[in-house]
């Protein structure tokens, strides 16, 4: 087999690694703005952050279409997800249950993904935003369920207008996409219920 076609291994211990990763994701979404370590490492294909890969291994399967940027979809990352998750990789962002986007790239906008409908708001896309860092950027103050008072986050190098998109998404509540900001082995939840109080 050629080197370029090789598919890396997935979980070495699927039951307990997916359980541990899920608890980190549950903590991240139930306490928005809190960076949680996913606690599991796998050999990650090019283009996916380690926490992105673990999150999709934990949650995605044949029931959940995944949207990836075209370069990832046609590369080793796409092959890796098809093999390990059995998930369909879709081109239309509005059909995706999970999506991976690069925080610096201007397209697609969050509004391109599925926000659910008023009777089934749970059918919305969960968007994994791969960031250059989760601390050290411009401070953003959050408020909402899961946050006692207010919480400040400072992810770095996000595209211009990103926080305005998040505000528009939160305004759709109870509809909207749910976000996981991802860097290295860290995930930080930004569900639709979280409100942006101020950006500095």
Partner 1 sequence: MTVHQSISDEAKPAYNYAYLDEQTKRMIRRALLKAVAIPGYQVPFGSREMPLARGWGTGGIQVTAAIIGPDDTLKVIDQGADDTTNAVSIRRFFERTADARTTEATDEATIIQTRHRIPEAPLKAGQIMVYQVPQPEPLRKLEPHEAETRKMHAWAEYGLMQVKLYENIARFGEVTTTYDYPVMVNGRYVMAPSPIPKFDNPKMQMSPALQLFGAGREKRIYAVPPHTSVRSLDFEDHPFRIQSWEQPCALCGAADSYLDEVVIDDQGGRMFVCSDSHHCETRRAQGHRGTMLGDATASGLVEAKS
Interface residue with partner 1, options 106, 136, 145, 161 (CB under 8 A):
145
Footprint on residues 26-65 left by partner 1 (CB under 8 A): 26, 29-31, 58-61, 63-64
Does residue 100 touch partner 1 according to CB under 8 A?
A: no
**Which phi and psi angles does 185 have, rounded to 5°?**
-100, 15
Distance CA 84, CA 60 (A): 9
Report residue 91 as tokens.
Answer: 């081109």
16 forms part of the interface with partner 1 (CB under 8 A): yes
How many positions of this chain bind partner 1 (CB under 8 A)?
Answer: 38
Phi–psi pair at 21, nearest 5 degrees: -65, -40
- Closest by CA to 189, choosing from 149, 156, 165, 155, is 155
| Selected binder of partner 1 within 19, 71, 74, 139 (CB under 8 A) | 19
Which residue in this structure is represented by tokens 């401070």? Answer: 139
Residues within the interface to partner 1 (CB under 8 A): 14-16, 18-20, 22-23, 25-26, 29-31, 58-61, 63-64, 97, 118-122, 124, 126, 144-148, 173-174, 178, 191-193
């Amino acid at each position: 087999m050629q080197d370029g076609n090789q598919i890396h291994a997935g979980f070495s211990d699927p039951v307990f690694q997916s359980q541990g990763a899920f608890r980190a994701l549950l903590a991240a979404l139930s306490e928005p703005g809190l960076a949680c370590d996913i606690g599991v490492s796998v050999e990650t294909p090019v283009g996916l952050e380690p926490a992105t890969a673990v999150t999709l291994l934990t949650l995605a399967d044949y029931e959940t279409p995944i949207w990836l940027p075209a370069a990832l979809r046609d590369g080793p990352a796409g092959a890796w997800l098809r093999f390990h998750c059995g998930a369909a990789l879709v081109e239309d962002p509005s059909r995706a249950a999970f999506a991976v986007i690069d925080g610096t790239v201007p397209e697609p906008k969050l509004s391109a993904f599925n926000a659910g409908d008023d009777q089934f708001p749970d059918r919305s896309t969960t968007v994994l935003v791969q960031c250059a860092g989760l601390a050290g950027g411009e401070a953003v103050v959050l408020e909402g369920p899961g946050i006692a008072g207010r919480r400040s986050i400072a992810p770095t190098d996000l595209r211009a207008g990103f926080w305005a998109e998040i505000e528009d998404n939160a305004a759709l509540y109870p509809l909207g996409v749910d976000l996981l900001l991802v860097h290295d082995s860290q995930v930080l939840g930004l569900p639709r219920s979280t409100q942006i109080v101020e950006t500095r």
